[in-house]
Amino acid sequence: MMLDIAELLKVFFLGIIEGITEWLPISSTGHMLLVDEFIRLDMSPEFKEMFFVVIQLGAILAVVLLFFGKMFPFQWKDKSQPVVRADVFSLWFKVVVACIPGAVVTILFDDWIDEHLHTPVVIAVALIFYGFAFILVENRNKARTPKVAELSDITYQTAFVIGLFQVLSIIPGTSRSGATIIGALLIGVSRVAAAEFTFFLAVPVMFGLSFIKILKFGLHFSGTEAAVLLVGCVTAFAVSVLVIKFLMGYIKKHDFKVFGWYRIVLGAVVLGYFLA
């Protein structure tokens, strides 16, 4: 099957949606599944299930590009000997600790979640519930000073607790970044440190999920399927670069409540539409 212009535009649009919603705490998977209800890709259900996860690799590469200086654990002060950055290694070990709860739950329940909870009503309810959660948490923290101001101040215990909150994101509509940010804010992490740790956490999580989905689908792609993945990933990468820069500038001066209100309004519209 050839990839015609109409299908190419659908993939391009989905890449834009992914690039915007992966990093804003409004649920990329939820948005992708909702958009697919109206703009359906002419692909098999198995390919689409894999595509909606693997397209996030483009968004992840944007994080690697923008935060490479903080993420890469080696530094060359001269041309011969690399210097090991112990603080960066320590941070990655904390990321691994935070990944453990989500990895266990995903391995045990991923197929069941895909089969039973990927519905517009579930997505809408999750959007609304966590929208209120953002507003309540931000109101609670208004007069409080964060206990953890910098990314480097996050301990192993804090990382593990954030990882427990990330487990909630297995439900469509929750938002991976949203769940980890809410958890981090609740335990006293600053907005900037919470967002940055979410970016670090997303790298192994999304690479791992993409690897699992590709293995389930199989490693044999048609030319059309390969083109769909490439266009989606490249678009998501380009949009993510802009969105991450915007978000990091925004949260230095503002809270997350606007995203909470957006989630509530969108969830109410979706719930009303599908129940009607």
For residue 17, name the pLDDT band (cuts at 50, 70, 90): very high
Q: For residue 132, what pLDDT is reported?
A: 97
Q: For residue 83, what pLDDT is reported?
A: 81
Higher per-residue pLDDT: 6 or 265: 265
Question: How does pLDDT run across 125-154, given as a tens digit for each residue?
Answer: 999 999 999 999 999 998 899 999 999 999
Q: Report yes or no: 59 and 23 within 8 Å, Cβ to Cβ.
A: yes
Find residue 245's DSSP bridge partners. Answer: none
Q: Report yes or no: 97 and 156 within 8 Å, Cβ to Cβ.
A: yes
Measured in whole angstroms, the distance separating CA 171 from the mean position of its chain's CA atoms is 13
Question: How does pLDDT run across 151-204, given as a tens digit for each residue?
Answer: 999 999 999 999 999 999 989 889 989 999 999 999 999 999 999 999 999 999
Residue 97 has pLDDT above 80, yes or no: yes
Q: Report yes or no: 175 and 22 within 8 Å, Cβ to Cβ.
A: no
Alpha carbons 274 and 172: distance in angstroms, whole number? 16
Alpha carbons 242 and 60: distance in angstroms, whole number? 13
Say whether 145 sits in a helix, a strand or coil. coil
Helices within the chain (DSSP H only) = 5-21, 28-38, 45-54, 56-66, 68-71, 86-116, 120-141, 156-166, 176-186, 191-217, 223-250, 257-275
Q: For residue 79, what pLDDT is reported?
A: 65
Q: Report yes or no: 244 and 66 within 8 Å, Cβ to Cβ.
A: yes
Q: What is the pTM of this model?
A: 0.87
Question: How does pLDDT run across 23-53, given as a tens digit for each residue?
Answer: 999 988 778 878 888 888 888 888 888 888 8
Alpha carbons 94 and 76: distance in angstroms, whole number? 24
Question: How does pLDDT run across 66-94, given as a tens digit for each residue?
Answer: 999 889 888 777 666 778 888 999 999 99
Closest among 168, 170, 194, 164 to 256, alpha carbons compared: 194
Residue 215 has pLDDT above 80, yes or no: yes
Alpha carbons 214 and 54: distance in angstroms, whole number? 8
Burial of 85 by CB count in 10 Å (0-12 exposed, 13-18 middle, 19+ buried)?
A: middle
Residue 2 has pLDDT above 60, yes or no: no
